[in-house]
Structures are given as structure tokens and as C-alpha cells.
Structure 1
Amino acid sequence: MSRILLLGVAALLGSAAGCTYANGDQAPIVVPCDATSQTVTYSKVISPIFDANCRQCHASNVAFTLGGGVMLGDYQSITRYGVVSLLGSIEHSPGYDPMPKGRAKMAECDIVRIRVWLAAGTPNN
């Protein structure tokens, strides 16, 4: 039964890959985000996201000169920062400073991973 289901999914994906829009472009391929409370850990997932997107300005040694005093340099400083403010900024919600400042919004999957980690209680794992 699962083999038949797998073949059906493969056929569906194969047919979708050949779809085109009116202007001739191929339909975008949607890659699911792998964010679950089992796969999102602070050390292997969250900290590297902060390294790539936040710590140029919000590391402890530059937060007061570049990051408006907001320190996100380590686990303790991130967990002290307000969850609502953090999400508002990285999601570019109205009324929040969009972060990373002066750069494109973080990848949606990284935002989902941060949400999953926050919802799990910000484990230090």
C-alpha cells in the first residue's frame, strides 16, 4: 500500500514539475521546511541562524555600538529578549523594526524554525 502511495506522489510531483505559467516559466518547486521540535536544536539550528543573520550587529561585543543595545550573542541573551519582539522584528510585522536591518527578510524556513524553538520553550540543546 505504501509503495502505491509513494508512486502516486512521485507521479504527481513529476507532472507538477512540467507545469508552466502563461509566460512560459516553470512553476516554483515548494520545499517543505523540516522544522519540528525534534529537529530544531539551539546548538545546531538556532545559533547558526543567529550567526548568519543577527550577530554582526547584536553580538555582545558590538550590541551597544551597532545593535541598539540588543544583545543576541548567546543563548542566555536571546532567551532574555522578548519573544513577541523577536518574532515581530524577524517577521517584519507592522510596528517592529524589521531585522536584519537593511537586509532582506530571513528565509521563511528559518523563521519557522525559530518559531518552533520558541514554542518548545527555548530549550538549550
Structure 2
Amino acid sequence: MFMPRLFPALSRILLLGAVALLGSAAGCTYANGDQAPIVVPCDATSQTVTYAGVISPIFDANCRQCHANNVASTLGGGVALGDYQSIKRYGIVGILGSIEHTPGYLPMPKGRAKMAECDIIRIKVWMAAGALNN
């Protein structure tokens, strides 16, 4: 007999809490009245992504400890990514599969966390722009 009275009261409390939460969320505005800004994960545009200035340093920081031309045969499974020509030879699509941890590819960097999403986006932007040696 105690339960039937408790359940409607609990339902009302939950309903009121949900309404209050939705009301407060709907009332959020910015001082200028605009919608919330869209957050772009990084500043990658085709004008800012160059091989020498952006891509090579990403490979330095994430890949070349094992895949530099002078250690690739012993540490990198024979996959050398030490320079532009080597990266082009192995193909950026295969490299993307590994750094994005796509099923069917070996996740890289081996034994470490996935590369920063912004760096992956920069590599994709560079690739979409023709993967130039610039």
C-alpha cells in the first residue's frame, strides 16, 4: 500500500527534474543571440598544410622513431617513412589506415596511443591537396 503512493510522487519528481533541465538548456543563449559556434578540431586548411612545415614534423613525432630510413629494417618492419619519396612509395592510404586504427591495418604508432586527431586531419588535408612535396 505504501508503494502506489511512492511511485506517482517519484514520477512527478523525475518529470519536474527533466522539465527543469530541458528548460535551462533551452534558455542558453550567447550575449549576441547567435547559436553556439561550431568548433573546428584544428586549423588544417590546404593553405596551411605543407609537407615540410606540417607533415614531416608529424612523421618525426609519431613515426620515425621506428620508420626512419636508417632504422626501418630493424625497428619498422622494413617500412621506411624517412622522407617524402618513401611516404609516397608506401602510399598515404595505407598509412592512413594504420594511423586511424582502421580494422585490417596494424595500428600505429605501435604500442602507443593513437595519433592526435588534428594531425590525422592535417594528413588528410595534405593528401586531398595532392600530397605535394612542398
1:99 to 108, 113, 124: 108
Seq. identity, %: 78
Query: Post-superposition shift, 1:83?
Result: 2.3
What TM-score do the two structures reach when normalised by structure 1? 0.76
TM normalised by structure 2 equals: 0.71
Q: Which amino acid aligns with 2:70?
A: N
Aligned with residue 85 of structure 1, among 87, 94, 116: 94
CA distance in 2, matches of 1:95, 1:11: 40
Which residue in 1 is equivalent to 2:75? 66
Partner Cα separation in structure 2 for residue 71 and residue 47 of structure 1 = 13
- Identify the residue that residue 128 of structure 2 maps to in structure 1: 119
Structure 2 counterpart of 1:100, which letter?
P
Partner of 2:49: 40
Q: How far did 1:32 drift?
A: 2.8
Change (3 A) 1:95 1:12: closer
For residues 43-81 of structure 1, what are the alpha-carbon distances to aligned partners after superposition, in whole Å with 9 as ceiling and x for unaligned?
Answer: 110000000000000000000000000000011111111
Residue 8 (structure 1) aligns with: 32
1:77-96: CA deviations, max 9, x gaps?
11111222111000000000
Unpaired runs of at least 5, structure 1: 1-6, 14-29
> Unpaired runs of 5+ in structure 2?
1-30
Q: Which has the larger radius of gyration?
A: 2
CA positional deviation for 1:10: 8.7
Cα distance in 1 between the residues matched to 2:123 and 2:58: 9
Q: 1:93/1:9 Cα in 2 relative to 1: closer, same or farther (>3 Å)?
A: farther
- Residues 9 and 117 (structure 1 numbering): CA distance in 2 closer, same or farther, change over 3 Å? farther
Alignment-mate amino acid for residue 117 of structure 1: W
C-alpha deviations, 1:25-50, integer Å up to 9, x for none?
xxxxx563111110100111000000
User: Number of matched residues?
Assistant: 104
Aligned to 1:54: 63
